[in-house]
């Protein structure tokens, strides 16, 4: 498996505490229909064509190259910022990233990942040695739907969440809201029930955005249209979470 990077985004204000540099890894274990980073689904390089020319999504770095690139903003990570690994599924690149994580950990750099947690349990165990903060997606929880819609094993997901929740690490749930998918009535009930067990874990909810549309076009793919969420449904969901005692906040990505 190749370990490619599609983007190193500096000065991210939304990907964890403080000012952060976010690294987007290419390749994911699932395929959410609403995905806003379609260039990060496959593990191999992909050609794209945009108005300003052709190019390739995905660049391979040595650990040292990646380190040098990320470390440029180290000065801005005090007091609480750091590096966030996203994707794709960052944890599926654990075998590659391990050495980099170690290097940052040695320097006391705060590390975060954004993960869907549809990954082998050993990778989660491994990540726990280095990562300080986990953003964990909550998406589709019905086993059958999860398999067909996302291509994921919901039991594995639930076990991984459980492992993380007992690790003592900081966690934050992120729930993408789309009425046709995550907020579809049955799933919404499952999600509410699921997060109720973890009331100590804060939740961020957000509406999907269409900023990935141009990336779909550049890959000659079609972005789904039924990804919207009415203000009413969004607010209703927010209130539900609040009522059952979850710490919930709204973010705009």
Partner 1 sequence: MKDIYIPGLDEDARLHKKKQDGSLLREREDYKKIYAKEFFNVYNEGTVADGFVCMCRNQRIYIDENWQFVYFIDYAYALDKIRGYRFGNLTPSYEILLSHSLSELKYSDPATPFCVDYNKIIDGMECMVQRIIEEIRHSNTKRLADKIKWFENLRIKPAKHFEEALQRILFVNQIMWQTDHYLTGLGSLDQLLYPYYERDVKTGYTDEKTVKEQLREFLQILHQYYWYKSSMLMGDTGQIIVLGGSEKEGNYRYNILTEQFLDLVQELQLPDPKLLLRVNEKTPEKIWKKALTCIGTGVGSPIFSNDQVIIPALEAFGIEEEDARSYGVSACWEPLIAGKSVSLNNMTTLNYMRPMENLFRREQLSRLETFDEFTECYITYLGRNLNAVKRVLTNARFQYDPVLSVFIDGCREKQKDASWGGAKYFHAGITSVALGNVIEVLLNIKKYVYEEKNYSLIEIKRMILTNYEGMESEQKKLKSKKRYFGTDEEEVIQLTKKIMAATTRFTKDYRNEYGGKLKFGLSAPTYIDAAVDMYASFDGRKYGAPFVVHISNETADSYTEILNFASALDYGENRFNGNVIDFMVTPDFIRNNMDKFVTLMKVGIKKGIFQLQMNVVSSETLIRAKENPEAFPNLIVRVWGFSAFFIDLPDNYKDMLISRALKNEGKEG
Which of 206, 203, 183 is closest to 195 using CA atoms? 203
Q: Residue 167: phi, psi to the nearest 5?
A: -85, -15
Site size toward partner 1 (CB under 8 A) is 16
Q: Which is nearer to partner 1, 8 or 192 (CB)?
A: 8
Q: Please name every residue paired with 173 in a beta bridge, in sequence order, or none if there are none.
A: 136, 203
- Pick the piece of the chain touching partner 1 (CB under 8 A) from 73-81, 115-123, 130-138, 223-231: 73-81
Q: Which residues contact 74 (CB under 8 A, 6 or more apart)?
A: 109
Bridge partners for 135 per DSSP: 114, 172
Please list the residues that pair with 252 across neighbouring strands. none
Minimal distance in Å, beta carbon 194 to partner 1? Answer: 29
Asked if 120 touches partner 1 (CB under 8 A), the answer is: no
Binding characters for partner 1, 75-114, by CB under 8 A (x = yes): xx-xx-x---------------------------------
**Closer CB to partner 1, 16 or 29, in the complex:** 16
Closer of 8 and 219 to partner 1 (Cβ): 8
Give strand pairing partners of 175: 205
Helix (H) or strand (E) holding 53: strand 53-57
Stretch that binds partner 1, among 11-19, 123-131, 202-210, 235-243 (CB under 8 A): 11-19
SS3 183: coil
- The dihedral of CA 181, 185, 186, 189: what is its sign? positive
User: Per rule CB under 8 A, is residue 52 in the interface with partner 1?
Assistant: yes
Contact between 49 and partner 1 by CB under 8 A: the answer reads: no
Residues of the shown chain interacting with partner 1 in the complex, contacts defined by CB under 8 A: 8-11, 13, 18-19, 52-53, 72-73, 75-76, 78-79, 81
């Amino acid at each position: 498996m190749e370990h490619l990077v599609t983007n190193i985004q500096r000065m991210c204000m939304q990907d964890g505490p403080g000012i952060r540099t976010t690294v987007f890894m290419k390749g994911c274990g699932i395929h959410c229909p609403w995905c806003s980073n379609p260039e990060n689904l496959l593990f191999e390089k992909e050609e794209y064509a945009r108005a300003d020319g052709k190019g390739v999504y995905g660049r391979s770095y040595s650990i040292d190259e990646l380190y040098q690139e990320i470390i440029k903003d180290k000065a801005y990570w005090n007091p609480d910022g750091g590096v966030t690994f996203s994707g794709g599924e960052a944890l599926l690149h654990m075998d590659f990233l391990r050495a980099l994580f170690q290097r940052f950990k040695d320097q006391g750099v705060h590390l975060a990942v954004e993960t869907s947690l549809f990954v082998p349990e050993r990778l989660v165990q491994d990540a726990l040695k280095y990562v300080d903060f986990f953003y964990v997606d909550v998406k589709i929880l019905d086993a059958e739907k999860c398999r067909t819609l996302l291509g994921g094993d919901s039991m594995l997901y639930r076990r991984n969440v459980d492992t993380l929740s007992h690790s003592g690490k900081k966690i934050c749930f992120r729930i993408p809201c789309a009425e046709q998918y995550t907020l579809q009535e049955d799933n919404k009930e499952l999600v509410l029930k699921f997060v109720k067990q973890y009331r100590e874990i804060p939740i961020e909810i957000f509406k999907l955005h269409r900023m990935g549309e141009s990336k779909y076009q550049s890959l000659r793919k079609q972005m789904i249209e039924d990804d919207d969420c009415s203000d009413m449904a969004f607010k209703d969901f927010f209130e539900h979470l609040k009522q059952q005692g979850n710490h919930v906040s709204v973010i705009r990505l």
